């Protein structure tokens, strides 16, 4: 049971990976009769990974097809939804889905007005995009963990992780995009000189030029560490919370195969955790959006 449980957990936490296996790599295949065959690659080969070991052997060139597919698909779904609602918008009183969408837009617009102290036509649309996109990626965690992997497994797909925000590559990718915007606006608003001065003249400052020169490397070290920590913490916070939530769902799903008593308990736990997780996925989307607004606001402040 322990071996099966470990295989079950490992399978659900492995991405569908496409990449290049190096020449000389030995692939192992299992036929329908259960016999294992070894195949040594004569040249580097681009292929789908059939195991976690193959995915690791692909190295940096590997692409998580499931994470990219679900995140892009959910982003397209959001754009389609807002496009349809925008076409229905009128001066009258909104109803149904249009009312719900307008509530979200108004809520985020007010949040940006309260938290962002600069002037930018980008921040509010960016905040709306981040909140809705991250929420939809997180929402996939509420789908029972075996449903979609089983459906894709029937089509011959080996692995299928359906929650993009449990992939650190996705969360850090979004965080690095926010970081790039921070650097861009810092230089645009403050100039190269102002940006460098911000990194070297704070937090320690002295009127004596000699003492200030001593403080410059200390200030630079402290400020650069704080600057780099922002995108790392932004991406890892979302990844850590969603990965932990997904792991709990997987562990609960394991209980269904451990007898009737544990199966009934698992049903109760799954329902309770799903209800609580609705708050978690919403809160994580809101935190990611708020930190993005705050970081961009700091980039617009010219001291």
Out of 46-50, 52-56, 203-207, 284-288, the most confident range is: 284-288
Q: How confident is the model at residue 264 (pLDDT cuts 50, 70, 90)?
A: confident
Out of 5, 115, 169, 237, the active site residue is 237
Q: 34-83: per-residue pLDDT in tens?
A: 667 788 888 888 988 888 888 888 888 899 999 999 999 999 999 999 89
Q: How confident is the model at residue 248 (pLDDT cuts 50, 70, 90)?
A: very high
Q: Token pair of 81, please? A: 């939804």
The Cα–Cα gap between 13 and 183 comes to 34
pTM for the full predicted model: 0.89
Q: Token pair of 159, please? A: 């692995």
**Rg, Å, the chain Cα set:** 24
Out of 10, 61, 110, 233, the active site residue is 233
**Where does residue 179 fall: left (phi above 0), alpha (psi -120 to 50 degrees), or beta otherwise?**
alpha
| 237 has catalytic annotation | yes
Q: 178-189: per-residue pLDDT in tens?
A: 999 999 999 998
**Phi and psi at residue 30, in whole multiples of 5°?**
-115, 120
Closest-CA residue to 178 (of 290, 64, 303, 61) = 290
The Cα–Cα gap between 246 and 13 comes to 9
Cα angle 191, 110, 133; round to 5: 80
Closest-CA residue to 221 (of 242, 202, 235, 241) = 202
| 233 has catalytic annotation | yes
Q: Token pair of 77, please? A: 């779904």
């Amino acid at each position: 049971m322990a071996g099966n449980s470990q295989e079950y957990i490992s399978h659900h936490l492995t991405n569908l990976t496409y990449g290049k296996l190096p020449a000389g790599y030995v692939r192992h295949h299992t036929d329908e009769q259960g016999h294992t065959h070894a195949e040594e690659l004569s040249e580097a080969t681009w292929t789908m990974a059939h195991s976690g070991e193959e995915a690791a052997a692909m190295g940096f060139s590997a692409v998580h097809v499931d994470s990219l597919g679900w995140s892009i698909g959910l982003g397209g779904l959001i754009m389609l939804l807002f496009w349809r609602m925008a076409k229905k918008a009128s001066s009258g009183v909104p109803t149904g889905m249009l009312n719900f969408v307008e509530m979200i837009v108004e809520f985020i617009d007010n949040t940006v007005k309260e938290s962002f102290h600069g002037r930018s036509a980008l921040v509010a649309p960016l905040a709306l995009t981040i909140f809705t996109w991250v929420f939809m990626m997180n929402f996939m965690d509420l789908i029972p963990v075996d449903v979609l992997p089983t459906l894709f497994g029937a089509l011959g797909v080996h692995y299928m992780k359906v929650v993009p925000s449990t992939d650190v590559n996705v969360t850090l990718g979004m965080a690095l995009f926010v970081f790039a915007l921070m650097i861009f606006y810092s230089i645009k608003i403050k100039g190269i000189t102002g940006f460098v001065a911000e990194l070297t003249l704070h937090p320690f400052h002295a009127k004596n030029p000699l003492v200030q020169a001593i403080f410059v490397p200390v200030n630079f070290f402290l400020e650069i560490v704080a600057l780099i920590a922002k995108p790392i913490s932004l991406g890892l916070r979302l990844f850590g919370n969603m990965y932990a939530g997904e792991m709990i769902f997987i562990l609960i799903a394991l209980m269904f195969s451990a007898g009737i008593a544990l199966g009934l308990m698992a049903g109760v736990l799954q329902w309770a955790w799903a209800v609580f997780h609705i708050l978690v996925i919403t809160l994580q989307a809101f935190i990611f959006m708020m930190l993005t607004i705050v970081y961009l606001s700091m980039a617009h402040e010219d001291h």
